[in-house]
Amino acid sequence: MTNDERRATETTETTRTSPILSVDHVSKRFRIAAERYLTAVNDVSLTVSTGETLGIVGESGCGKSTLAKMIVGLERPDVGEILVNGRPVRGSAGRHRGEGGVQIVFQDPQGSLDPHFRVGASVGEPLLAAGLGRAEIQTRVAEALRMVELDADAARHYPHQFSGGQRQRIAIARALAARPELIVLDEPTSALDVSVQAGVLNILLDLQNRTGTSYLFISHDLSVVAHMSHRVAVIDRGSIVETAPAERIFSDPQHPYTKALVDAIPRI
Amino acid sequence: MSVASEDFILDTIPQRIEPSSKRGTRRMNVSLIAGFAIIGLLLVAGIVAGFHPPYDPYATGDDPFAAPSAAHWLGTDNLGRDFASRLILSLRTDVLLSLSTCLLAALFGAVIGLTAGYFGGIWDAVSMRVVDGVLAIPGILIALLIRVILGAGSWQLVLAMAVIYTPMMARVMRAPALQLRTREYVAAARIAGIPSWRTVSTHILFNSLSPMLVQAASIASNAVAMEAALSYLGQGIQPPQPSAGRMVFEYQMYMQTDPLLVIAPTVLIVLLSFGWNLIADGFQTYFSLSESDRL
């Protein structure tokens, strides 16, 4: 079964388990000057079910990354509640004891890996925080690296010895090592060459098939989002303007902004 | 958290920052090698001779102002003490003083600077104003103040110089921490649940090592000069313990008749300071090369 077929059959399923992620009327604004505020996220509500990919699409500066930061707990929402598997996401410190929780893959693989840490140390970091023993960390690091089609030997090398695509796979392995219920993918392929984008995307799809992890896939590229996601939420200036199954976003966009986005996709 | 799991992270952290093979390693880092050679040699000479001096550096003899000879390599001083033995002993004092000052300043300065930059907020504001305040006071004044309060001696001198140089280190270390805290690998560590102290002592510290080592070496160089100045003023190392600055002070009145007594300790001060500066310079070259290899 190809990925597209799988997506098609899954979206037709009507019964879904309780949501892994529920974002309930969340708003966040930043003070940019005295008495002047920028509303980055405005009354956003969404849910992601087990094994589902929700795509978030919108142009630069629309609040996608702020939303991602709130979901992983790097920022605190001003209003509203974010629940991951029924538990609130608090502050920053970790309470995902080696299993479950949320992990994130950032846009720029150059900046998301510490240049002075060997790959094994970076990938094993969430497990170390979870209090796992050395042997178990090593096993799970090797396992996570294999899942992203890297040699277990990669653990002994430094990030600068890898290409951009490989580094992004290492970042995915770090997210996977903690066996999260949800991975937030914040523009995971935007910084990569087109030639390696497909490879990373396919690894992500394959991983979801095998592990049933939910994804929140954030991108400004509607065609990539539609390829990856079951459902797509379109964000414009901090608010969700439309949520629809991936195929319907293309065939039957409702909101004018979504129409504009679909029209903006170059066709050959 | 088990000890074993900490070992794992420690094992995978590089013990030194490796420049990759292409350019950096093949070009000799003359400054670094020469600097370490000078400081290392002086330290070893000081320590070895400290245990086995040619003569007892404190024993007075009946032959003052003797010219250099096979028996007394650099002659004797006004009290007939073997000048070479005294110089070697002062060498040990000076290297150890500058080394311990630079270690203390690096330790406290790094802790203050890194945490101020990383955590920001009130701690940053308060600690940096204190740093500004201490930097505004001339170092020699601080040293004299501490000497008045705690008395004169080696450890008081080290403490005073640590107080003088800690703010310099703190100021230098705050900048990289401020910059690094927004890095995504730091965010990833926070999401993973790594405690702040560990993030600061691994991610932030390891990526701030280059300014830290450069600054530490230049602090050591400054400390040599500061120690010499204080001892010259009679407020540093106390007699009869020899130190280079102290010797310049004691022997200056014999400068006309026996210039070697002043020239030799001066050369020693210059050599030590120069050695530390070479190390600072070498670190700078070393890290800029390894950094450019990384890109």
pTM, to two decimals: 0.78
Homologous superfamily assigned to A3-96+180-264 = P-loop containing nucleotide triphosphate hydrolases (3.40.50.300)
A27 forms beta bridges with A79
pLDDT in tens, chain B (295 residues): 444 555 555 555 554 544 444 444 456 788 899 999 999 988 888 888 777 777 777 777 777 777 777 777 777 777 778 888 888 888 888 888 899 999 999 999 999 999 999 998 999 999 999 999 999 999 889 988 988 898 888 888 899 999 999 999 999 999 999 999 988 899 888 888 888 899 999 999 988 988 999 999 999 999 999 988 888 888 878 777 888 888 888 888 888 888 888 888 899 899 999 999 999 988 888 877 666 555 4
Domains of chain A by residue range = 3-96+180-264, 116-179
* Mean pLDDT, all residues of chain A: 83
Q: Is A33 helix (H, G, I), strand (E, B) or coil?
A: strand
CB B195 to CB A93 under 8 A? yes
**Type of residue numbered B68:** P
B204 forms beta bridges with none
What sections of A130-251 are H helices per DSSP? 134-147, 164-177, 194-211, 222-228, 246-251
- Reported as a single tens digit per residue, the pLDDT across A109-124 is 888 899 889 999 999 9
**Beta-sheet pairing, A102-105 with A182-186:** parallel
Helix axes B139-150, B209-232, angle to 10 degrees: 60
pLDDT score, position A102:
85
- B10 φ/ψ angles, rounded to the nearest 5 degrees: -60, -40
Residue of A nearest to B7 (CA): A134
CB-based burial label for A234 (10 Å; 0-12, 13-18, 19+)? buried
| CB contacts, 8 Å: A115 with chain B | 207, 294
d(CA A207, CA A148): 8
| CB contacts, 8 Å: A173 with chain B | none
| CB contacts, 8 Å: B207 with chain A | 114-116
Q: Which two tokens stand for residue A38?
A: 């920028």
* B13 inside 8 A of chain A by CB: yes
CB B206 to CB A96 under 8 A? no
Query: How many C-alpha atoms does B19 have within 13 Å on its Cβ side?
Result: 20
A235 forms beta bridges with A240
* A177 inside 8 A of chain B by CB: no
Note the Cα A110 to chain centre separation in Å. 17
**Type of residue numbered B159:** L
Which of these CATH numbers, 3.30.70.1450, 1.10.10.60, 1.10.3720.10, 3.30.930.10, describes B29-53+81-294? 1.10.3720.10
- Reported as a single tens digit per residue, the pLDDT across A231-249 is 999 988 888 888 888 888 8
* B192 inside 8 A of chain A by CB: yes
Rounded average pLDDT over A119-145: 88
CB A92 to CB B5 under 8 A? no
Q: Which of B8, B194, B195 comes nearest A138 by C-beta?
A: B8
| Interface residue of B184, B201, B207, B209 to substitute, partner A, most A CBs within 10 Å | B184
d(CA A11, CA A249): 13
Residue of B nearest to A103 (CA): B191
- B138 φ/ψ angles, rounded to the nearest 5 degrees: -60, 135
d(CA A28, CA A43): 8
pLDDT score, position B23:
47
- A152 φ/ψ angles, rounded to the nearest 5 degrees: -60, -25
CB B188 to CB A174 under 8 A? yes
CB-based burial label for B50 (10 Å; 0-12, 13-18, 19+)? middle
Domains of chain B by residue range = 29-53+81-294
- Reported as a single tens digit per residue, the pLDDT across A72-112 is 888 888 888 888 877 777 543 444 455 668 888 998 888 88
User: pLDDT band at residue A251, thresholds of 50, 70 and 90?
Assistant: confident
The CA-based angle B223-B229-B235, given to 5 degrees, is 105
A182 forms beta bridges with A102, A214
Please tell me whether the peptide bond between B240 and the residue prior to it is cis, using omega within 30 degrees of 0: yes
**Strand ranges of the sheet holding A21-33, from the earlier edge strand across to the other edge:** A36-48, A21-33, A79-84, A87-88
**Beta-sheet pairing, A36-48 with A21-33:** antiparallel
From the CA of B191, how many Å to the nearest CA of chain A? Answer: 6
Exposure pattern of B236-247 as b/e (b: 16+ CB <10 Å)? bbbeebbbbbbb
pLDDT score, position B84:
83
- In chain A, what percentage of residues exceed pLDDT 90? 17
CB A118 to CB B20 under 8 A? no
Residue of A nearest to B209 (CA): A116
* Contact predicate A254/A232, CB 8 Å: no
Interface of A with B in 206-265 (CB under 8 A): none
Q: Which two tokens stand for residue B210?
A: 């280059």
Interface of A with B in 115-154 (CB under 8 A): 115-118, 120-122, 124-135, 137-138
CB A128 to CB B183 under 8 A? no
Q: Which two tokens stand for residue B99?
A: 């080394």
